[in-house]
Amino acid sequence: MKIDYSSRALEDLENLPSDIKKAFFKQIVFLAGNLKHPSLHAKKYDEADDIWQARINKGWRFYFNITGDTYFIRNIIRHPKK
């Protein structure tokens, strides 16, 4: 699978702490290889808009859509419940 980024996700990436950025790219490698990788905890977040959520670590999440053979990363945020 391919990975693409929204302009918002690219902006989010620029502002991430370096340790979170490193963890994010580790998770992206897992995502590209296997959506069901256990450390991602990937799940459908919004059925109507086909938005998925995956874990970077306990306190950070990223949101994405799946279009054909591409994961389109929408944004990267602190976990809303943290």
Per residue in 25-41, pLDDT (tens digit) is: 999 999 999 999 999 99
Tokens of 67: 């279009």
Amino acid code (one letter) for 65: N
Give the up-direction half-sphere exposure of residue 76: CA atoms within 13 A in the CB hemisphere. Answer: 25
Q: Which domain holds residue 64?
A: 2-78
Tally of structural domains, the chain: 1
CATH at residue 35: 3.30.2310.20
Per-residue pLDDT reduced to its tens digit, 9-20: 999 999 999 999
The one-letter code for the residue type at 54 is: A
Record the pTM. Answer: 0.93
Joined together, the tokens standing for residue 75 give: 């944004």
